[in-house]
Amino acid sequence: MADRRHTLGRAAEEAAARFLHTSGLTIAERNVRFSEGEIDLVCREEGVVVFVEVKCRRIGWGETPAAAVSWHKQRRLTRLAQHYLKWRGLAGVRCRFDVVSVTLDGRGALDVRHVRSAFDAVGG
């Protein structure tokens, strides 16, 4: 089961990266790991650093994948983004947080939806 979830997650991240690239974003880094967690995708768009959380669900699971980005997850992603900016020496750069929702339908096709500026930086 874990292998299938991992394979689906990788396929969703790849689909998200292709979609974002086609939409004009540059994929700077993938799966950036820190001790506190991981940033799925770091992109650039016209001088803005875009931190992207990719969420995947099978159709019929109820809520949309983007709904799974809770306040706690937003807070963790904000901290990870702060670590990333410091690590890369990007003080003062503009950034935003996007979510890419990937839904797997019954035939195995992936539906990709991009939510730009899905949330603002959460303190704490």
Asked if the structure places residue 124 within a domain, the reply is: no
pLDDT of residue 63: 60
Does any domain span residue 114?
yes
Q: What is the CATH number of the domain that holds 13?
A: 3.40.1350.10
Number of domains forming the structure of the chain = 1
The answer to whether residue 8 is domain-embedded is yes
Q: Given this model, what pLDDT does residue 17 score? A: 97
- CA 61 remoteness from chain centre: 19
Least confident among 22-26, 74-78, 104-108: 104-108
Residue 38 lies in a domain: yes
pLDDT confidence bin for 66, thresholds 50/70/90: low
58: left (phi over 0), alpha (psi -120 to 50) or beta: beta
Q: Is residue 57 part of a domain?
A: yes
Nearest by Cα to 27 from 100, 102, 108 = 100
Give me the pLDDT at residue 88, please: 96
Tell me, yes or no, whether 83 lies in a domain.
yes
Range of the structural domain that residue 31 is part of = 2-119
